[in-house]
Amino acid sequence: MNNILRLTALEMAEKLRSGALTSVELTQACLERINQHNPRIHAFLHVDAEGALATAKKIDEKRAQGEELHPLAGVPIAIKDNIVTRAMPTTCASKMLEGWLPPYDATVITKIKDAGLPIVGKTNMDEFAMGSSTEHSAFGVTRNPWDEERIPGGSGGGSAAAVGSFMVPLALGSDTGGSIRQPGSVTGTVGAKPTYGAVSRYGLVAMASSLDQIGPVARTVADAAALQELIAGHDPYDATSLSDEVKPLSNIAEEYARKDSLEGLTIGVIKELSAGEGFQEEVLQSFQAVLNDAQAKGARIVEVSCPSFEYALGAYYLIMPAEVSSNLARFDGMRYGLRVEPEEGPVTAETVMAATRAAGFGDEVKRRIILGTHVLSAGYYDAYYGNAQKVRTLVQQDFDKAFAEADVLVSPTSPTTAFKFGEKSDNPMSMYLNDIATIPANLAGIPGISFPCAIAGEERMPVGFQVLAPAHQDDTMYKVARALEKIIGEPLAQQCPASAWEDE
């Protein structure tokens, strides 16, 4: 592998600034890597070599002319395929949107283009972001670079695998119930879900609007923080956008970690998410080892209890499908993408919609639309949707109480390491249980990050550590995650077998 691809995004940016590297060279190296390994790994659904190189060239020219550039200018990035990119295919890994060329850019894309990061392409995902393994993509699975027989997590498996296999240093994901953090966890990469509203959702194809949030994917905590800084900020196009000032997250995190002490920090271990059935032994051991190290560095470790988390998964699987059923109603064969006419009988608006939706959506999407329509129907609304909303409030109250006792809350990101293809795809419930530790943050709107804390077991698969902070305190989350990453040592993403893949 070209050694420049091993660098972090911030190191690449430094080399671009000093003139040791050009963006064209760097982008070319990413594209070559993608060319060689994407046919096997299938992290990308679409690669835009021409567009990426054109941006790289423009940035190199501007730099040569001494123009003031964004700190990440010239660093290549990949985009999850549910974030709209003008004139570049955006499919949500669904036949429903195959071939769709959006007429506009999402706000995060406008920011990335303004900052001059070459967009190398769009990454694979579970269809419309529904899943935990990327096995629900209509265009084929993505492979985990640590073991190609295993899933890369989901729904953002493509972004995680692209970053984990050194095809790009940075990517964007979306997290509705864990789709940035859980793929991070099982691919040894870093993924963060910002505070709800910190990053604009304008141009993110909606799954469940009250839970969806765009966030960064990287190989180090500081890189993720730098990318969040770039994409965050108030957006008048998103009614739920916050007006918080955007803090220098990567500097804050770096400065805190430099102290090399966790004196004064209280870490709350969420009892319900760090023990018990479903959690792999090696995951729990790796998690505990980090806590021991943190304690040795002066942190106070306390146990906190969030009793209503027992019902969080259930509440999520009522609220999320309810919103899905309403958000996906727009894919009706009339306005976007696919249009299929019935094979027999009259061609009416209704029969075209039915035929289009039958052909365009996969099983998991259909399952959730049916479930969501059911829980919202008259007679069931109070029993299901109404009660789920009450649980959502209880989850928020549990977090409030826990954050009164600790600065941050922690748990393993995912109860298991990467599982094998097919292991859970036939049983939706077992797949859903994988999100047990990530979902509460979405229900409460708080920020959460996953970073690799160990390579565990005989299979040598990465384990993710999750740090949660109160809403609006993304800086606290990055600070603590960066300090813990430093205690663990060299970023574990470097140990991915992908770093030894031969390039021709």
334 exposure class (CB count in 10 Å sphere: 0-12, 13-18, 19+): exposed
Strand-pair partners of 301: 267
Read off the amino acid at residue 219. R
**Is 174 known to be catalytic?**
no
What residues from 182 to 211 belong to the interface with ligand GLN (CB under 6 A)? 207
Residue closer to ligand GLN (CB basis): 27 or 179: 179
For residue 193, what is the enclosing H or E element? Answer: strand 190-193
CA pair distance 72, 68, nearest whole angstrom: 12
Of 23, 132, 137, 155, catalytic: 155
Residue closer to ligand GLN (CB basis): 63 or 122: 122
What residues from 398 to 457 belong to the interface with ligand GLN (CB under 6 A)? 435
- Which tokens belong to 106? 């999402």
Shortest distance (Å) from residue 132 CB to ligand GLN: 4
What residues from 115 to 174 belong to the interface with ligand GLN (CB under 6 A)? 129-132, 154-155, 174
Q: Whose CB is nearest to ligand GLN?
A: 179
Residue closer to ligand GLN (CB basis): 210 or 494: 210
Shortest distance (Å) from residue 126 CB to ligand GLN: 7
Residues 307/398, Cβ–Cβ less than 8 Å: yes
CA pair distance 175, 448, nearest whole angstrom: 10
Count of residues in contact with ligand GLN, rule CB under 6 A: 15
Residue closer to ligand GLN (CB basis): 288 or 389: 389
- Which tokens belong to 73? 């200018």
What's the alpha-carbon Rg for the chain, to the nearest Å? 22
Read off the amino acid at residue 487. I
For residue 182, what is the enclosing H or E element? Answer: helix 181-187
Of 23, 80, 132, 486, catalytic: 80
Give the rounded distance of the alpha carbon of 477 from its chain centre.
Answer: 16
Length of the chain: 504
Of 23, 165, 174, 179, catalytic: 179
Residue closer to ligand GLN (CB basis): 94 or 155: 155
Shortest distance (Å) from residue 30 CB to ligand GLN: 25
**Is 18 known to be catalytic?**
no
Shortest distance (Å) from residue 315 CB to ligand GLN: 13
Residues 80/125, Cβ–Cβ less than 8 Å: yes
DSSP 490: S
Binding to ligand GLN by residue 321, rule CB under 6 A?
A: no
**Is 243 known to be catalytic?**
no
Binding to ligand GLN by residue 175, rule CB under 6 A?
A: yes
Residue numbers at the binding site for ligand GLN (CB under 6 A): 129-132, 154-155, 174-179, 207, 320, 435
Active site residue ranges: 80, 155, 179
